[in-house]
A and B are shown apart, each in its own frame.
Chain A
Amino acid sequence: MFEPGSFLYEAWAARYGLLAGLATTARLSGITIVIGSLIGILGGVALSYGPWPVRLLLRGYVDAVRGIPVLVLILFSYYGLALLGIQISPFTAGVVALGGFCGAHMSETVRGAIESIPIGQTEAGKAIGLTFWQRLRYVLLPQAIRRLLPPWVNTAVEMVKGTTLLSIIGVVELLLATQQTIARNYLVLQFYFAAGMLYVLVNFAISQLGALIERRTAHFRY
């Protein structure tokens, strides 16, 4: 069972490469989701309340990016930007493409969540003298977060899966690290299966995080 050629032996032999790949996947996902969420909050607020030129611009960004396949975004930010004289590493290109993609989806999600809150909430906030940012911070966003959570988890999980596409531009994340391992030991089924399980694990962690926040905010109803 621990002979050379067995899965466990080969997995142990390749452990550093695989763990490094997993770490890269986790780091990419984390950075992307954080950037995407920040863009999403700002973008969603601006889409709901910004002056019309800002809204128009953002609407263009959101609709364009949501309509373009992620792979095209990735290839563009790596090869396209290089042609324009902007040299960035595959990792950075990946962050730009996935972060931009994530931000567009999150913006739309945040906008929807804010606009689903009854107008009476805004008016009650105004009536006690809260300013725009105070209403956002104390009245609207705390209520929006509940509606936000399920689509946020979905998008986050999509982003983790999306990182696999970066193997195409040479980012050694979990998928590419797995492929490199398989190239050495030919245990195709076993290693793809193991990689798949690791992705499931990461995504499970994300949905658990979502569930935790959901419980934290479950003390009120609409």
Chain B
Amino acid sequence: MAQPLLRAIDVHKRFGATEVLKGIDLEVQQGEVVAIIGASGSGKTTFLRCINLLEEFHQGEIQVDGERIGYTEGTHRRLGETAISAQRAKIGMVFQSYNLFPHMTAEQNVTLGLIKVQKRPKAEAVETARRWLDRVGLSERRGHYPYQLSGGQQQRVAIARAVAMEPKLVLFDEVTSALDPELVAEVLAVMQDLAKSGMTMLVVSHEMLFVREVATRVVFMEGGRIAEQGPPDALLVNPKSERLATFLGRFHGVFR
């Protein structure tokens, strides 16, 4: 098999004395869409944040495209600000709370990274931003400020902001859970479109129907560990472990 795009080896993370990640091992191949599910507090967000270096971890290793992330080779010493920023630029992240820059228009939100991080000429950045805003269905709204957009629209801008950088891997952390129910579908549709285009995605989600339809693999986290993983149909319909069965039971037997 080809070298995995993401490889996490025995990742441990503590907050003070509590260990929140207790040894995560995960490999994601180019083009895979991996969904992470699990109960609240099982460490899903923390794991994503470790990959994007928003959180430090204490033991283990994470590689993206063969490159060790966040720490020097051999020792576990944190890299400098410049190196870390450069690594983050290759990984996209979409947050639950959108986190758009309120003082910039939709288009400026997307071009900021293209211009300042990737040093692309302004005209080219604007062109790229417009193409992506078009792709997420917001070509009419590119001059709007975040406060002039609905939650679903804001989240689609945030997705455009992340993917316009052409990251190797995009992380989605419950990107629809802050949205009103009627706005969830438009965001999921955008994500499905991206998944189809071959983007490598790691998606934390409670939208089980979406997970089942779009994910190529499902990972179930439990108490800071990966408890079970496999193809969505097998895992969601015939869970092996009691715990996963209980967890899925909360979704009103959607799969049976």
Asked if A126 is at the interface of the complex by the 8 Å CB criterion, the answer is yes
Neighbour of A128 across the interface among B102, B145, B161, CB < 8 A: B161
In the complex, the answer to whether B99 meets A130 with C-beta atoms within 8 Å is: no
List chain A residues, Cβ under 8 A from B145: 219-221
**Sample of 5 more A-B contacts, CB < 8 Å, known A126-B88, A127-B54, A132-B81:** A126-B54, A129-B113, A129-B117, A220-B104, A221-B147
Number of A-B contacts (CB under 8 A): 77
How far, in angstroms, from A133 to B126 measured CA to CA in the complex? Answer: 23
Q: Which chain B residues have a beta carbon within 8 Å of chain A's beta carbons?
A: 52-54, 81-82, 85-86, 88-93, 95, 97, 99-104, 112-113, 116-117, 145-147, 158, 161-162, 165
- Interface class of chain A by DSSP: helix
In the complex, the answer to whether A143 meets B103 with C-beta atoms within 8 Å is: yes
Chain A contacts with B in 122-149, Cβ cutoff 8 A: 123-132, 134, 138-139, 142-143
**B91 to nearest A CB, angstroms?**
8
CB closest residue in chain A, given B103:
A220
Asked if A120 is at the interface of the complex by the 8 Å CB criterion, the answer is yes
CB closest residue in chain B, given A128:
B113
**A147 to nearest B CB, angstroms?**
12
How far, in angstroms, from A129 to B82 measured CA to CA in the complex? Answer: 9
Neighbour of A131 across the interface among B82, B90, B112, CB < 8 A: B82
In the complex, the answer to whether A123 meets B102 with C-beta atoms within 8 Å is: no
Neighbour of B165 across the interface among A128, A217, A219, A222, CB < 8 A: A128
**B187 to nearest A CB, angstroms?**
17
Interface size on A, residues (CB 8 A): 23
In the complex, the answer to whether B102 meets A134 with C-beta atoms within 8 Å is: no
Neighbour of A120 across the interface among B82, B85, B88, B99, CB < 8 A: B99
How far, in angstroms, from A221 to B101 measured CA to CA in the complex? Answer: 10
Asked if A121 is at the interface of the complex by the 8 Å CB criterion, the answer is yes
In the complex, the answer to whether B162 meets A120 with C-beta atoms within 8 Å is: no
List chain A residues, Cβ under 8 A from B101: 121, 124-125, 138-139, 143
How far, in angstroms, from A217 to B102 measured CA to CA in the complex? Answer: 11
List chain B residues, Cβ under 8 A from A217: 103
How far, in angstroms, from A138 to B114 measured CA to CA in the complex? Answer: 13
Q: Mask for A179-193, Cβ within 8 A of B = 1, else 0?
A: 000000000000000
In the complex, the answer to whether A130 meets B92 with C-beta atoms within 8 Å is: no
